[in-house]
């Protein structure tokens, strides 16, 4: 009897809540599924919030990156413009210095400028002109193209060429003996009908020329009459087959050299850099005051400065004329040197002059 007492009293509790007890009838398994669903929804919510937060962070970083890039671009834009202008002037100066424009034979350089400047015209003298603006005052801005050089003066039976100097007799400057002395032993280029032909100027025999002036007299100075040009021909017929005839232009071999802090060394480097500055200023289309005629003139090293005279007669008269130039070192030598920084400043000065400022 004693062992059976507690059993009936707690039997209902062991079976769990009844249907009418008012207690929840959810089983243990149902409770686990509900909790798992809540946890899954919570994890999904956390993932969604994390994704949105990451998107917001990425958007913010993208905006900041674009802002930094915009500020960087605005900060370097003036420098980029200056660099572009410098590069343009440097490139043109180097290009022009590589070209030959012996006085009266400036055709090739004129062709280059004619193609470079839309709206330009060429007269019968070979001048390249570009007219900007209209009305008064009428002003002329000019840069001479030509250089002191040589032409073939004679063709010898053994194929050697003799030279004659052209240019250098005008009011701009006079050629001198030292200019011709540069030829001895140097490489030259002869421009024939079939293209450029390389050559070299022979060197006189030291043993045969020394002391010819007599005791106490200096040795004779090399002149253009002593220049014998060897182009590899062995007869006059060979010379003709190369397309070379009398009056073919001849110049020192052009090898422009950039060195130091934007220094350019080349024959006639000053004129070439000045024309490069004018060719840079002209296409900028400044708001000119009145009419400005830009002229790249030929034959400036003859006595009458024929190219400038032609422009004045055809398009003048002018209220003011400005001839573009730059200071140089070692003038009229094979290493005439010009500062391209000065060419940059010249571009600004030319634009200001055209605008009447």
* pLDDT tens for each residue of 291-333: 999 999 999 988 778 999 999 999 989 999 999 999 999 988 8
Q: Which helix (H) or strand (E) holds 251?
A: strand 249-252
What per-residue confidence (pLDDT) applies to 321? 95
Chain centre to alpha carbon of residue 155: 40
Chain centre to alpha carbon of residue 123: 27
Which residues does the chain have with pLDDT short of 70? 1-37, 39, 42, 46, 49-86, 168-177, 211-214
Of 278, 279, 323, nearest to 171 by C-alpha is 323
Cα 109 to Cα 128, 138, 272, distances in angstroms: 10, 26, 10
Phi, psi of 293 (to 5 degrees): -100, 120
The length of the chain, given as a count of residues: 357
What per-residue confidence (pLDDT) applies to 177? 61
What per-residue confidence (pLDDT) applies to 206? 76
Q: Is 131 left (phi over 0), alpha (psi -120 to 50) or beta?
A: beta
**Residue pair 198/239 in contact by the 8 Å Cβ criterion:** no
Residue carrying structure tokens 């050629």 = 175
The CA-based angle 37-43-47, given to 5 degrees, is 145
Query: Edge-to-edge strand order for the sheet containing 337-339?
Result: 257-259, 263-265, 337-339
SS3 227: coil
Instruction: Give me the DSSP letters along 153-210.
Output: EEE-TTS-EEEEEES--SSS----HHHHHTTTT-EEEEEETTEEEEEEEPPPPHHHHT
> Rounded to whole angstroms, how far apart are CA atoms 294 and 142?
6
Tokens representing 238 are 């060979």
**Residue pair 136/319 in contact by the 8 Å Cβ criterion:** yes
Name all domains of the chain by residue range, CATH numbers in brackets: 81-147+255-354 (3.40.630.10), 149-206+217-252 (2.40.30.40)
Residue carrying structure tokens 């840079």 = 280
What per-residue confidence (pLDDT) applies to 32? 53
Q: Running DSSP on this structure, what letter comes out for residue 254?
A: P
**Residue pair 135/126 in contact by the 8 Å Cβ criterion:** no
What per-residue confidence (pLDDT) applies to 216? 73
Residue carrying structure tokens 């424009």 = 101
161-166's contacts with Cβ under 8 Å and 24+ in sequence apart are 161/190, 161/199, 161/228, 161/229, 161/231, 161/239, 161/244, 161/250, 162/225, 162/227, 162/228, 162/229, 163/224, 163/227, 163/229, 163/250, 164/224, 165/224, 166/102, 166/103, 166/104, 166/105, 166/301
Tokens representing 237 are 């017929």
């Amino acid at each position: 009897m004693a062992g059976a007492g507690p059993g009936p009293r707690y039997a209902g509790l062991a079976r769990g809540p009844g249907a009418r007890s008012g207690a929840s009838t959810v089983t243990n398994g149902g409770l686990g599924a509900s909790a798992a669903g809540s946890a899954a929804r919570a994890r999904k919510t956390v993932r969604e919030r994390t994704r949105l937060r990451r998107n917001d962070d990425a958007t913010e970083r993208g905006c900041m990156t674009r802002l930094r890039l915009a500020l960087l671009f605005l900060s370097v834009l003036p420098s980029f413009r200056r660099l572009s202008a410098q590069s343009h002037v440097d490139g043109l100066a180097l290009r022009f210095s590589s070209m030959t424009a012996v006085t009266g034979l400036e055709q090739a350089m004129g062709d280059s400028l004619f193609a470079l400047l839309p709206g330009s015209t060429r007269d019968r003298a070979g001048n390249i002109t570009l007219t900007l603006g209209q009305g008064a005052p009428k002003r002329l801005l000019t840069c001479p193209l030509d250089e002191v050089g040589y032409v073939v003066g004679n063709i010898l039976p053994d194929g050697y060429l003799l030279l004659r100097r052209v240019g250098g007799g005008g009011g701009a400057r006079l050629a001198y003996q030292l200019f011709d002395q540069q030829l001895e032993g140097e490489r030259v280029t002869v421009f024939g009908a079939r293209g450029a032909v390389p050559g070299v100027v022979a060197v006189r025999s030291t043993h045969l020329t020394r002391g010819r002036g007599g005791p106490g007299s200096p040795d004779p100075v090399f002149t253009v009459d002593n220049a014998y040009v060897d182009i590899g021909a062995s007869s006059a017929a060979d010379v003709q087959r190369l397309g070379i005839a009398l009056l073919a232009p001849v110049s020192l071999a052009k090898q422009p050299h950039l060195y130091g802090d934007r220094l350019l060394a080349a024959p006639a480097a000053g004129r070439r850099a000045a024309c490069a500055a004018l060719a840079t200023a002209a296409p900028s289309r400044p708001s000119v005051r009145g009419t400005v005629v830009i002229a790249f003139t030929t034959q400036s090293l003859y006595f009458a400065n024929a190219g400038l005279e032609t422009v004045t007669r055809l398009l003048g008269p002018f209220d003011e004329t400005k001839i573009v130039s730059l200071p140089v070192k070692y003038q009229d030598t094979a290493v005439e040197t010009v500062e391209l920084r000065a060419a940059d400043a010249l571009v600004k000065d030319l634009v200001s002059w055209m605008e009447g400022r």
